Amino acid sequence: MAETVYVALGSNLEQPELQLQRAVDTIDSSPQMTVCGCSRLYRSDPVGPPGQPDYCNAVVAITTTLTPLQLLDALQSIENSHGRVRSVRWGPRTLDLDIILFGNQRIESQRLTIPHYQMQVRNFVLCPLLDVAPDLELPDGTALQAMVDKLGYRGLRVIAENYPWI
C-alpha cells in the first residue's frame, strides 16, 4: 500500500538552494517515490553551534510503497551522492533529508524515530510542512497549525514560492 510521507530538506553548504532543488529532482525521478507536494523554499537562521552559514529548508510530500527503512536507505543514498559527509554533530551540512512523518505510523527503532523526535521544536520543519499539509494532524491528534502558531516564523524568510524554486 502506498503511504504519504513528509520529508524535510536542509542544507547550508555549497549552494544550498541548488542542493535542495537537485534533491527534489532526484527524489521525483526515482521510480519508487512520487513527489505530490512541495513547500515554499525558506532561508533560516542556523539552530545549533553559532558561526555556521544560514540554512535553506523545505518539505516535500511523497507517496511511496517502500517500507520506512527502505525509504531511509534511499534518502541516505541521495544524501551521500550529493556529497554529504557526516562530521560535527549539529554542524554545517551539504544535504539533510529527514523522514518526519510516515503515514500515521509511529516508529521507534535504532535507526528511525517517527514522528521525527525534534520536529515539534523546529519551525524550519513545521512551517514548510504547513505549506504542503495545512490540515495535517500528527499521530497523537495535535493539529500542525496549532504547533506553528506556538512557534511562529521567527528566523525564517521565504525565498521562493513554487517548485521548481530555481
Least Å distance between CB 94 and ligand ROI? Answer: 12
- Which residue, 47 or 74, has its beta carbon nearer to ligand ROI? 47
CA–CA separation, 52 vs 11, rounded Å? 11
Q: What's the closest the beta carbon of residue 93 comes to ligand ROI, in angstroms? A: 6
Q: Is residue 93 annotated as part of the catalytic site, yes or no?
A: yes
Catalytic residue among 40, 43, 98, 122: 98
Q: From the candidates 96, 106, 111, 131, which is the catalytic residue?
A: 96
Out of 40, 43, 73, 84, pick the active-site residue: 84
96 catalytically annotated = yes
What is the Cα–Cα distance from 20 to 11, expressed in whole angstroms? 7
Cα separation, 156 vs 71, whole angstroms: 28
Residues with catalytic roles: 84, 93, 96, 98
